[in-house]
Amino acid sequence: MKKCIITIGRQCGSGGHSIGKSVADKLGIPLYDRKLVEIVAERSGLSAETVQREGEYASTSLLNSIASRGYSAYNAYQRENMFLPDQINAYQTELIKELAEKDSCVIVGRCADYILQDNNDCLHVFISAAMPERIKRVIAEHGIAPEAAESHVKNRGKKRAAYYKYLTDRVWGAATNYDLCLNSSKLGMVCCVDIICNYCLNR
Amino acid sequence: MKKCIITIGRQCGSGGHSIGKSVADKLGIPLYDRKLVEIVAERSGLSAETVQREGEYASTSLLNSIASRGYSAYNAYQRENMFLPDQINAYQTELIKELAEKDSCVIVGRCADYILQDNNDCLHVFISAAMPERIKRVIAEHGIAPEAAESHVKNRGKKRAAYYKYLTDRVWGAATNYDLCLNSSKLGMVCCVDIICNYCLNR
């Protein structure tokens, strides 16, 4: 197989992570999800929990500041002080570029589609799903209480979108940021995995 | 083949129309593009040119009004007077629902993804492409002068997005509006056609 870096952005509960894992297994290439968080934690000296939390989702302090200052003002103001999300992003960006240099792999989340937007070896994928499926999945797989599931899913979406906008100045989930956007509840998980693998094996 | 209605939204110059045509040919089902415009013209008594122009792109008067009143205010104000885009949209909506009732087909543009959002026989597709390919395509296929090609492509995009927002209150090109978004310059035209046909033949 020709070198292929697959980046996967995904809605919470869409099954994007499982699709990434199946693609990595089927193609025999590494998957970077939690592993990426652990490497960044090791390099930065921050805890894996902090990197997990602040490296993909806007924290309350980030959201408050965006609300009062807007994206650009906040950005300019915070860069001078190397705010935590910027710090983590610097490590994530460096690591994601290193991984993409090395060999084929699957990278889940972490704005990898933006970081590697000019890398021709990449396939940038976004996975979405219908709300009822997303709710079912977070209850079954993430252990979220049924009564809290819908607000959990929506809240994660808002925080990911805000973090993405803050760091990339792009709209999260806009089709034009990706090469392939797949609705997993419509197409089915197996079909999503096949479409991605077929592209990688035949390009 | 099980009944399948394929709606195709597309960026100007992305090759979305050619992909729709190839899918229709390969599956042996009708394609509604210019034909849809002609039926609406016949039913409404308007000229095909008017339906073509005002049934998918925001006209200057619509854009001016959106700029001064915003989307909702304009919407509420104009509905009373049955403004031209609303009139055409009423005919288009009726016709697209009729076509989807009948049998498998491909429908290009005209907010069909929104009109048929709750129809389970549908596959909603969006085709994008990189700017250099879009410019090349409008020069070669639409006869646009090379020096005007980039602004032509951008201008059509803005007018489609405004029209779509006005009539659907959704963001044009958001991945979550579609089941499948394909970047034709990255994946190649043949690959796009195959992905769509494979889904329809195997669902």
Sign of CA dihedral A93, A98, A102, A105: negative
Segments of chain A scoring below 50 in pLDDT: none
d(CA A202, CA A195): 11
Compare all CA atoms of chain B with the CA of A188 and give the residue at the minimum distance.
B203
Residue numbers in A near B171 (CB within 8 A)? 171, 174
B186·A173 Cβ contact <8 A: no
Of A123, A176, A181, the CB nearest to B178: A181
The whole-angstrom separation of Cα B121 and Cα B103 is 10
Nearest CA in chain B to A123: B186
Of B86, B65, B46, B105, nearest in space to B168 by CA: B86
**CATH number of the domain to which B28 belongs:** 3.40.50.300
Domain membership of residue B133 as a residue range: 5-202
Contact A181 B126 (CB under 8 A): yes
Q: What is the pLDDT of residues B96-109, one digit of tens each?
A: 999 999 999 999 99
For position A71, what pLDDT does the model report? 67
Contact B36, B98 (CB under 8 A): no
Which pTM was predicted?
Answer: 0.91
Q: Is B148 helix (H, G, I), strand (E, B) or coil?
A: helix
Residue scoring higher pLDDT (B30 or B57): B30
Lowest average pLDDT, out of A20-24, A43-47, B20-24, B135-139, goes to A43-47
Which are the contacts of B117, defined by CB distance < 8 A and separation ≥ 6?
B124, B177
What is the pLDDT at residue A102?
Answer: 96
Q: What is the mean pLDDT of residues B157-165?
A: 90
Which residues does residue A7 pair with via DSSP β-bridges, in sequence order? A107, A124
Asked whether the predicted pLDDT for residue B178 surpasses 90, the reply is yes
How many independent structural domains does chain A possess? 1
Q: Which residue of B has its CA nearest to A171?
A: B174
* A123:B186 CB<8 A: yes
Residue type, A126: F
Check residue B86 and give its pLDDT.
83
CA dihedral (A38, A42, A43, A45) positive or negative: positive
Query: Residue B180 is nearest to which of A11, A182, A199, comparing CB atoms?
Result: A182
